[in-house]
Amino acid sequence: MNQTEKIGFVGLGIMGQPMSGHLMAAGYEVAVYDLRREAMEIAAEHGATPCASPAEVATLSDIIITMVPDSPDVEAVISGDGGILSGVQRGSVVIDMSTVEPATGQRMADLLSEKGADMLDAPVTGGAVGAQNASLSIFVGGDEAVFARCRPILDVLGASVMYMGRGGMGHTAKLANQILGVTAMLGVSEAFVLAKKAGLDLEAFCEAATQGAGDSWHLRTLGPKIIAGDFDPGFMAKHMRKDMRLAAQTAISLDSPAPVTALIGQLYGALMAAGLGEEGHHAIVKVIEQMADAEARA
Protein backbone atom coordinates (compact mmCIF):
# COMPACT_ATOMS: atom_id res chain seq x y z
CA MET A 1 0.00 0.00 0.00
CA ASN A 2 1.39 3.38 -1.04
CA GLN A 3 0.81 5.32 2.16
CA THR A 4 2.92 8.18 0.85
CA GLU A 5 -0.26 9.38 -0.87
CA LYS A 6 -1.75 12.16 1.25
CA ILE A 7 -5.52 11.97 1.56
CA GLY A 8 -8.09 14.73 1.80
CA PHE A 9 -11.61 14.05 3.04
CA VAL A 10 -14.48 16.49 2.53
CA GLY A 11 -17.72 15.60 4.30
CA LEU A 12 -17.61 14.06 7.78
CA GLY A 13 -21.17 12.94 8.26
CA ILE A 14 -22.59 9.60 9.33
CA MET A 15 -20.57 7.93 6.56
CA GLY A 16 -17.55 10.18 6.12
CA GLN A 17 -16.45 10.30 9.75
CA PRO A 18 -15.80 6.56 10.15
CA MET A 19 -14.41 6.30 6.60
CA SER A 20 -11.79 8.98 7.28
CA GLY A 21 -10.98 7.17 10.53
CA HIS A 22 -10.24 3.93 8.67
CA LEU A 23 -7.79 5.75 6.41
CA MET A 24 -5.93 7.19 9.39
CA ALA A 25 -5.89 3.78 11.07
CA ALA A 26 -4.31 2.39 7.89
CA GLY A 27 -1.46 4.88 8.23
CA TYR A 28 -2.49 7.64 5.82
CA GLU A 29 -2.11 11.34 6.53
CA VAL A 30 -5.61 12.81 6.23
CA ALA A 31 -6.67 16.45 5.91
CA VAL A 32 -10.38 17.06 6.51
CA TYR A 33 -13.11 19.63 6.00
CA ASP A 34 -16.75 19.73 7.05
CA LEU A 35 -19.23 22.56 7.51
CA ARG A 36 -19.56 21.47 11.14
CA ARG A 37 -16.56 22.40 13.26
CA GLU A 38 -17.40 19.70 15.80
CA ALA A 39 -17.07 17.02 13.11
CA MET A 40 -13.57 18.24 12.28
CA GLU A 41 -12.68 18.28 15.97
CA ILE A 42 -13.66 14.64 16.28
CA ALA A 43 -11.53 13.76 13.26
CA ALA A 44 -8.62 15.78 14.68
CA GLU A 45 -8.75 13.70 17.86
CA HIS A 46 -7.90 10.71 15.67
CA GLY A 47 -5.01 12.47 13.96
CA ALA A 48 -6.60 14.36 11.05
CA THR A 49 -5.56 17.86 10.00
CA PRO A 50 -8.59 20.20 10.03
CA CYS A 51 -8.80 22.70 7.16
CA ALA A 52 -10.63 25.97 6.61
CA SER A 53 -12.03 25.02 3.19
CA PRO A 54 -12.10 22.26 0.57
CA ALA A 55 -9.47 24.30 -1.31
CA GLU A 56 -7.08 23.99 1.62
CA VAL A 57 -7.75 20.25 1.77
CA ALA A 58 -6.81 20.04 -1.92
CA THR A 59 -3.52 21.91 -1.43
CA LEU A 60 -2.47 19.34 1.18
CA SER A 61 -3.62 16.21 -0.63
CA ASP A 62 -2.79 13.88 -3.49
CA ILE A 63 -6.16 12.11 -3.34
CA ILE A 64 -9.27 14.06 -2.27
CA ILE A 65 -12.42 12.15 -1.30
CA THR A 66 -15.79 13.87 -1.23
CA MET A 67 -18.72 12.38 0.68
CA VAL A 68 -21.63 14.84 0.72
CA PRO A 69 -25.43 14.53 0.44
CA ASP A 70 -26.49 15.66 -3.04
CA SER A 71 -25.48 16.98 -6.48
CA PRO A 72 -25.50 20.68 -5.46
CA ASP A 73 -23.24 19.83 -2.51
CA VAL A 74 -20.73 18.11 -4.79
CA GLU A 75 -20.72 21.13 -7.06
CA ALA A 76 -20.24 23.44 -4.07
CA VAL A 77 -17.27 21.59 -2.60
CA ILE A 78 -15.56 21.13 -5.97
CA SER A 79 -16.35 24.21 -8.06
CA GLY A 80 -17.86 26.66 -5.54
CA ASP A 81 -16.08 29.47 -3.67
CA GLY A 82 -13.18 27.96 -1.77
CA GLY A 83 -13.78 24.68 -3.54
CA ILE A 84 -11.36 21.94 -4.46
CA LEU A 85 -10.72 23.47 -7.88
CA SER A 86 -9.14 26.47 -6.18
CA GLY A 87 -6.41 24.36 -4.59
CA VAL A 88 -6.14 21.12 -6.55
CA GLN A 89 -2.67 20.16 -7.75
CA ARG A 90 -1.84 18.77 -11.18
CA GLY A 91 -1.74 14.98 -10.96
CA SER A 92 -4.17 14.80 -8.05
CA VAL A 93 -7.31 12.69 -8.04
CA VAL A 94 -10.74 13.57 -6.69
CA ILE A 95 -12.85 10.54 -5.70
CA ASP A 96 -16.51 11.45 -5.31
CA MET A 97 -18.12 8.83 -3.09
CA SER A 98 -21.44 10.66 -2.85
CA THR A 99 -24.59 9.48 -4.60
CA VAL A 100 -25.33 12.13 -7.23
CA GLU A 101 -26.64 12.56 -10.74
CA PRO A 102 -24.11 11.10 -13.24
CA ALA A 103 -24.21 14.31 -15.29
CA THR A 104 -23.03 16.30 -12.26
CA GLY A 105 -20.04 14.02 -11.84
CA GLN A 106 -19.15 14.40 -15.49
CA ARG A 107 -19.25 18.20 -15.28
CA MET A 108 -16.96 18.14 -12.27
CA ALA A 109 -14.60 15.69 -14.00
CA ASP A 110 -14.33 18.03 -16.98
CA LEU A 111 -13.49 21.00 -14.75
CA LEU A 112 -10.87 19.01 -12.87
CA SER A 113 -9.35 17.81 -16.13
CA GLU A 114 -8.72 21.43 -17.10
CA LYS A 115 -6.59 21.69 -13.94
CA GLY A 116 -4.64 18.54 -14.80
CA ALA A 117 -6.44 16.46 -12.16
CA ASP A 118 -8.43 13.24 -12.53
CA MET A 119 -11.73 12.15 -11.06
CA LEU A 120 -13.34 8.87 -10.12
CA ASP A 121 -17.00 8.48 -9.24
CA ALA A 122 -17.14 5.87 -6.50
CA PRO A 123 -20.47 5.86 -4.65
CA VAL A 124 -21.04 3.27 -1.96
CA THR A 125 -23.74 1.04 -0.59
CA GLY A 126 -23.88 -0.50 2.85
CA GLY A 127 -25.04 2.43 4.98
CA ALA A 128 -23.66 3.59 8.29
CA VAL A 129 -22.89 0.04 9.43
CA GLY A 130 -20.87 -0.58 6.27
CA ALA A 131 -18.95 2.66 6.79
CA GLN A 132 -18.23 1.80 10.42
CA ASN A 133 -17.10 -1.74 9.61
CA ALA A 134 -15.23 -0.86 6.38
CA SER A 135 -17.50 -3.36 4.63
CA LEU A 136 -18.98 -1.04 2.01
CA SER A 137 -19.58 -2.07 -1.58
CA ILE A 138 -18.07 0.54 -3.91
CA PHE A 139 -19.02 1.13 -7.56
CA VAL A 140 -16.24 2.91 -9.46
CA GLY A 141 -16.29 4.80 -12.75
CA GLY A 142 -13.39 6.59 -14.44
CA ASP A 143 -10.05 5.96 -16.11
CA GLU A 144 -8.90 2.43 -15.35
CA ALA A 145 -5.30 3.46 -14.66
CA VAL A 146 -6.50 6.08 -12.16
CA PHE A 147 -8.68 3.41 -10.56
CA ALA A 148 -5.62 1.14 -10.22
CA ARG A 149 -3.73 3.96 -8.48
CA CYS A 150 -6.58 4.55 -6.03
CA ARG A 151 -7.56 0.92 -5.49
CA PRO A 152 -5.49 0.47 -2.29
CA ILE A 153 -7.28 3.44 -0.71
CA LEU A 154 -10.70 2.16 -1.72
CA ASP A 155 -9.82 -1.29 -0.38
CA VAL A 156 -9.39 0.28 3.07
CA LEU A 157 -12.97 1.53 2.94
CA GLY A 158 -14.86 -1.34 1.38
CA ALA A 159 -15.09 -5.12 1.28
CA SER A 160 -16.12 -5.07 -2.39
CA VAL A 161 -14.61 -2.60 -4.87
CA MET A 162 -15.97 -3.00 -8.40
CA TYR A 163 -14.83 -1.19 -11.54
CA MET A 164 -17.91 -0.28 -13.60
CA GLY A 165 -16.26 1.43 -16.57
CA ARG A 166 -15.83 4.98 -17.84
CA GLY A 167 -16.62 8.10 -15.84
CA GLY A 168 -20.24 8.27 -14.71
CA MET A 169 -20.71 4.51 -14.62
CA GLY A 170 -20.10 4.36 -10.87
CA HIS A 171 -22.86 6.88 -10.20
CA THR A 172 -25.16 5.11 -12.67
CA ALA A 173 -24.52 1.71 -11.07
CA LYS A 174 -25.30 3.11 -7.62
CA LEU A 175 -28.64 4.54 -8.74
CA ALA A 176 -29.59 1.26 -10.41
CA ASN A 177 -28.58 -0.54 -7.22
CA GLN A 178 -30.81 1.76 -5.17
CA ILE A 179 -33.77 0.82 -7.36
CA LEU A 180 -33.09 -2.86 -6.63
CA GLY A 181 -32.83 -2.31 -2.89
CA VAL A 182 -35.73 0.05 -2.35
CA THR A 183 -38.05 -2.13 -4.43
CA ALA A 184 -37.25 -4.99 -2.04
CA MET A 185 -37.87 -2.64 0.90
CA LEU A 186 -41.33 -1.74 -0.38
CA GLY A 187 -42.09 -5.43 -0.87
CA VAL A 188 -41.16 -6.13 2.75
CA SER A 189 -43.37 -3.25 3.89
CA GLU A 190 -46.44 -4.38 1.95
CA ALA A 191 -45.98 -8.03 2.94
CA PHE A 192 -45.58 -7.21 6.64
CA VAL A 193 -48.71 -5.03 6.75
CA LEU A 194 -50.74 -7.67 4.92
CA ALA A 195 -49.44 -10.39 7.23
CA LYS A 196 -50.26 -8.34 10.32
CA LYS A 197 -53.79 -7.53 9.16
CA ALA A 198 -54.38 -11.21 8.43
CA GLY A 199 -53.29 -12.17 11.93
CA LEU A 200 -49.93 -13.79 11.20
CA ASP A 201 -47.19 -13.77 13.82
CA LEU A 202 -44.75 -11.35 12.16
CA GLU A 203 -41.61 -12.77 13.74
CA ALA A 204 -42.53 -16.28 12.60
CA PHE A 205 -43.45 -14.99 9.14
CA CYS A 206 -40.20 -13.06 8.78
CA GLU A 207 -38.14 -16.11 9.75
CA ALA A 208 -40.06 -18.35 7.37
CA ALA A 209 -39.79 -15.87 4.49
CA THR A 210 -36.00 -15.69 4.81
CA GLN A 211 -35.87 -19.38 3.91
CA GLY A 212 -37.54 -18.99 0.53
CA ALA A 213 -37.52 -17.05 -2.72
CA GLY A 214 -38.68 -13.89 -0.95
CA ASP A 215 -35.43 -13.63 1.02
CA SER A 216 -33.45 -10.40 0.75
CA TRP A 217 -30.97 -8.28 2.69
CA HIS A 218 -33.78 -5.90 3.50
CA LEU A 219 -35.99 -8.66 4.88
CA ARG A 220 -33.23 -10.15 7.04
CA THR A 221 -31.70 -6.87 8.24
CA LEU A 222 -34.53 -4.35 8.34
CA GLY A 223 -37.51 -6.68 8.74
CA PRO A 224 -36.74 -7.34 12.43
CA LYS A 225 -36.25 -3.61 12.99
CA ILE A 226 -39.70 -2.86 11.61
CA ILE A 227 -41.24 -5.53 13.82
CA ALA A 228 -39.44 -4.07 16.85
CA GLY A 229 -40.43 -0.49 15.97
CA ASP A 230 -36.77 0.51 15.59
CA PHE A 231 -36.47 3.22 12.96
CA ASP A 232 -33.06 4.58 13.88
CA PRO A 233 -31.32 5.45 10.61
CA GLY A 234 -28.57 3.44 9.05
CA PHE A 235 -29.58 5.31 5.89
CA MET A 236 -32.03 8.18 6.25
CA ALA A 237 -35.36 8.23 4.43
CA LYS A 238 -34.65 11.74 3.11
CA HIS A 239 -31.52 10.45 1.38
CA MET A 240 -33.44 7.59 -0.21
CA ARG A 241 -36.00 10.06 -1.49
CA LYS A 242 -33.13 12.03 -3.04
CA ASP A 243 -31.73 8.87 -4.63
CA MET A 244 -35.12 8.02 -6.14
CA ARG A 245 -35.31 11.53 -7.58
CA LEU A 246 -31.86 11.13 -9.14
CA ALA A 247 -32.72 7.68 -10.48
CA ALA A 248 -35.92 9.00 -12.04
CA GLN A 249 -34.07 11.95 -13.61
CA THR A 250 -31.44 9.62 -15.02
CA ALA A 251 -34.12 7.32 -16.42
CA ILE A 252 -35.80 10.27 -18.13
CA SER A 253 -32.48 11.37 -19.66
CA LEU A 254 -32.05 7.85 -21.10
CA ASP A 255 -35.69 7.38 -22.19
CA SER A 256 -35.72 4.35 -19.89
CA PRO A 257 -39.12 3.62 -18.30
CA ALA A 258 -39.03 3.62 -14.49
CA PRO A 259 -42.64 3.50 -13.24
CA VAL A 260 -41.79 1.68 -10.00
CA THR A 261 -39.04 4.17 -9.20
CA ALA A 262 -41.47 7.06 -9.72
CA LEU A 263 -44.09 5.46 -7.46
CA ILE A 264 -41.61 4.76 -4.66
CA GLY A 265 -40.33 8.31 -4.92
CA GLN A 266 -43.89 9.52 -4.29
CA LEU A 267 -44.21 7.26 -1.23
CA TYR A 268 -41.00 8.68 0.20
CA GLY A 269 -42.40 12.13 -0.51
CA ALA A 270 -45.37 11.24 1.70
CA LEU A 271 -42.96 10.10 4.40
CA MET A 272 -41.14 13.43 4.17
CA ALA A 273 -44.42 15.34 4.39
CA ALA A 274 -45.11 13.47 7.64
CA GLY A 275 -41.85 14.81 9.08
CA LEU A 276 -40.12 11.42 9.10
CA GLY A 277 -37.25 12.15 6.72
CA GLU A 278 -34.54 11.55 9.33
CA GLU A 279 -35.78 8.10 10.27
CA GLY A 280 -34.30 5.05 8.60
CA HIS A 281 -35.42 4.46 5.03
CA HIS A 282 -37.32 1.36 6.20
CA ALA A 283 -39.81 3.82 7.74
CA ILE A 284 -41.51 3.71 4.33
CA VAL A 285 -43.55 0.93 5.98
CA LYS A 286 -45.32 3.70 7.91
CA VAL A 287 -46.86 5.03 4.70
CA ILE A 288 -48.32 1.58 3.96
CA GLU A 289 -49.43 1.24 7.58
CA GLN A 290 -51.29 4.53 7.44
CA MET A 291 -53.15 3.47 4.30
CA ALA A 292 -53.96 0.09 5.83
CA ASP A 293 -54.77 1.37 9.34
CA ALA A 294 -52.53 -1.35 10.80
CA GLU A 295 -49.05 -1.43 12.32
CA ALA A 296 -46.60 -4.17 11.36
CA ARG A 297 -45.22 -4.72 14.89
CA ALA A 298 -44.83 -7.71 17.14
Q: Which residues are catalytic?
A: 174
- For the chain, the residue count is 298
- In terms of phi and psi (left: phi > 0; alpha: psi -120 to 50; beta: otherwise), the region of 134 is left
DSSP states of 133-201: HT-EEEEEES-HHHHHHHHHHHHHHEEEEEEEESTTHHHHHHHHHHHHHHHHHHHHHHHHHHHHHHT--
DSSP states of 69-88: SSHHHHHHHHHSTT-GGGTP
CA separation for the pair 205, 192 (Å, rounded): 8
| Residue 64 near residue 58 (C-beta atoms within 8 A) | yes
- Measured N-to-C along each axis, helices 37-45 and 16-25 cross at an angle, to the nearest 10 degrees, of 20
* CA angle (246, 10, 239) in 5-degree steps: 30
